[in-house]
Amino acid sequence: MPEQQYSDDAIITLEGLTHVRRRPGMYIGKLGDGNAADDGIYLLTKEVIDNSIDEFRMHFGNKIEIHINDRTVTVRDYGRGIPQGKMIDAVSKLNTGGKYDDANFKKAVGLNGVGTKAVNALSRYFSVASFRDGKVKRADFERGVLVKEYDLADTDEPNGTFISFTPDCEPQHPQEHLFDPNFHFKEEFVERMLQNYVFLNRGLTMVLNGKKYSAKNGLLDLLNAYNTAEPLYPIVHLEGDDIEIAFTHTNQYGEDYYSFVNGQHTIQGGTHQSAFREFFAKTIKEFYNRNGMELSDIRAGLVAAISIQVQDPVFESQTKIKLGSKDMAPNGPSVAKYISDFISKEVDNYLHRNPETADMMLKKILEAEKERKAIAGVTKAARESAKKVALHNKKLRDCRIHFNDARNDRRDETCIFITEGLSASGSITATRNPDTQAVFSLRGKPYNSFGQKKDIVYTNEEFNCLQAALNIEDGLDGLRYNKVIIATDADVDGMHIRMLLLTFFLQFFPELIKRGHVFILQTPLFRVKNKKSIRYCYNEEERLDALESLKPSPEITRFKGLGEISPEEFKGFIGEGMRLDQVTLRKEDSVSQLLSFYMGDNTPERQNFILDNLIVDEENS
């Protein structure tokens, strides 16, 4: 092998926005194709909207208009408008912006002068206009490079900023990493983003393609909108300076939190969420004056939201999904003390003034305590067994990097494939990336856990081992993989296994789905090839298109199971081009009703649903 030359020529400086196009993950997380809520195209959209939100939070403009047409996003706010003399610099030069000065943007979301510049760099086309006091300044960019600057002109438009961009999927350099060529926007993900904005910014109206969003009651409206189980008592809603909380209990297992900083949804929590979780439970324990009360019993079934305002917040990554700040402001109180003081006073006062709520909460806590003690005898032995079987056996083929390792910049890439059968798990294991992809092998069909108590998690070997592999027994803080991917055959048995696994997660770990961690792996149904080319098809439409494209005499192979796909072929289906369907829950998706309908007694309604939605495989019927 020739010796690699390491000389002065190997030292490269990436000027301007080139670094963003070469290393987009540092700025927007993953790229993706738009099928997941955390894909990069939504973060680009969010970065632009964040600037408009910061204008509103500084009391300039109460309406933001968003249009998404095909692959182009436009955002128009009615704030102050970007200072026109520096407008071009503000959207094209890294570490340039108006938020380094707290006088202009106190407690803002975007603080590091990167966001809009990253959008510009990663867009095939980017246009900006600033309207200020009867004058408009415009400029157009392509892939971060200025292509046209317009002279300052008169305008009748009200003050504010207009930005339009089209994410780029055409690399101009071999080392550039851009969006999937088939990327598309899902309106439901953008809607969720806008709902969060209006819940956290009362008085703001947001308009998406003509549809208006607003909220009057902050986090109270948020919990009413997102809670998928009936509250056991009316939602408690409390507010103070720079803090707002809302909470209730449900009969669901686990804990469910929605946390925000300066209007930013911190999906992975952070110091504020941890403080709320700790001091809420301690306050409740002190209120009831029961020393033997377990904090886990107090939080069982808790659904809560917390929003705080922090000056100069520090996040653990550019994507701002986990708060790292320890203090509310420079020389101010710690985040933990501020939240502790508020909760210990306001929650305690509320429960004293509302004894009916206090009684219902105590009843729920005592029920959780009773169930915990009922399964205490099996849990210790079951835990040890699960660790031995799942973590030191072929049931789990682990990866080297884990999601709960905050020090690793590849933690978001981690995933675990849950599959059934030796051949399928063998194919995935042989082709996976051992750094970030783990494989968990099921033995036959999982047990139908609908209607069962939580002791089934420990007494059923498959569930016990799966829980241990995911490390979610005590909540999502220890989750070892960012994506939990159900990888089963696309036949009746495979669909049944999917339903049984989803029932298990919905029954005992619904927050795993609510937080967007559960996915279904799409695998091809057909392989169509001729002497020159080969196409993998995931549905009938793609098969017909392949037949049309690969004339003459194409050969068609129908895959009936994952085990039929060779390891070499499988490499293309679980790599960068992996197709995933994210499992989501909406307000109208009541978990108890969903499980009862699909997994309960075989009712006439379900039989009719199956008959009405039956798809017949004509080739094999």
Tokens of 588: 């109208």
Residue 176's pLDDT band, with cuts at 50, 70 and 90, is confident
Q: Which of 585, 512, 595 minimizes the C-alpha distance to 267?
A: 512
H helical segments located in 392-485 = 422-431, 455-459, 461-470
Burial class (CB in 10 A: 0-12, 13-18, 19+), 577: exposed
Helix (H) or strand (E) holding 236: strand 236-240
Residue 132's pLDDT band, with cuts at 50, 70 and 90, is very high
Beta bridge partners of 18: none
The pLDDT of residue 418 is 94
CA angle 140/26/429 to nearest 5° reads 125
Provide the angle, in degrees to the nearest 10, between the axes of the packed helices 40-57 and 187-200.
Answer: 20
Query: Which strands sit side by side in the sheet containing 256-261, from one edge to the other?
Result: 236-240, 243-249, 302-308, 256-261, 264-265
CA distance 221 to 60: 24
Beta bridge partners of 440: 396, 418
Beta bridge partners of 304: 247, 257
60-69, 500-509, 605-614 — which is least confidently predicted? 605-614
Q: Does 342 or 574 have the greater pLDDT score?
A: 342
DSSP code per residue over 160-192: EEEEEEEE--S-SSTT-----TT----HHHHHH
Kindly report, as residue ranges, where domains of CATH 3.30.565.10 are found in the chain: 18-213
Q: Does 528 or 27 have the greater pLDDT score?
A: 528
Residue 619's pLDDT band, with cuts at 50, 70 and 90, is very low
Tokens of 475: 């909540």
Tokens of 34: 């738009």
Kindly report, as residue ranges, where domains of CATH 3.30.230.10 are found in the chain: 219-371
Taking residues 128-148, what's their average pLDDT? 96
Encode pLDDT of 29-66 as tens digits.
788 888 888 889 999 999 999 999 989 988 999 999 99
The pLDDT of residue 605 is 65
Encode pLDDT of 410-448 as tens digits.
888 899 999 987 778 888 888 999 999 999 998 878 888
Encode pLDDT of 316-372 as tens digits.
766 677 888 888 888 889 999 999 999 999 999 999 999 999 999 999 999 999 988
CATH of domain 393-523+564-591: 3.40.50.670
Taking residues 124-135, what's their average pLDDT? 97
Tokens of 312: 């100069």
- Beta strands 205-208; 63-69: pairing state: parallel
For the chain, helix (H) and strand (E) counts, in that order, are 20, 23
Tokens of 262: 């300066």
Which span out of 101-115, 222-236, 343-357, 579-593 was modeled with the highest average pLDDT? 343-357
Q: How many CA atoms lie within 13 A of 406 on its CB side?
A: 12
pLDDT at 513 exceeding the cut of 60: yes
Q: How far is CA 503 from CA 82, 228, 577, 593, in A?
A: 50, 15, 28, 12
Q: Which of 326, 334, 197, 216 minimizes the C-alpha distance to 262?
A: 197
Mean predicted lDDT score pLDDT of the chain: 85
Amino acid at 415: C
Class of domain 219-371: alpha beta
Taking residues 446-469, what's their average pLDDT? 85
CA distance 558 to 337: 61
The pLDDT of residue 568 is 80
As a whole number of Å, the end-to-end CA separation of the chain is: 57
Name the fold adopted by 18-213. Answer: Heat Shock Protein 90 (3.30.565)
Taking residues 489-496, what's their average pLDDT? 80
Rg, the chain, Cα only: 26
Do you know the residue count of the chain?
Answer: 621
The pLDDT of residue 64 is 98
Find tokens 């017949």 and name the residue.
616
b (16+ CB within 10 A) / e for 391-418: eeeebbbbbebbbeeeebeebbbbbbbb
Q: Are 247 and 304 in contact (CB under 8 A)?
A: yes
Find tokens 């190997």 and name the residue.
10
Q: Are 497 and 420 in contact (CB under 8 A)?
A: yes
Q: Are 422 and 398 in contact (CB under 8 A)?
A: no
CA distance 519 to 584: 9
CA distance 304 to 273: 10
Kindly report, as residue ranges, where domains of CATH 3.40.50.670 are found in the chain: 393-523+564-591
Encode pLDDT of 82-111 as tens digits.
999 999 999 998 866 655 455 444 555 554
CA distance 248 to 300: 11
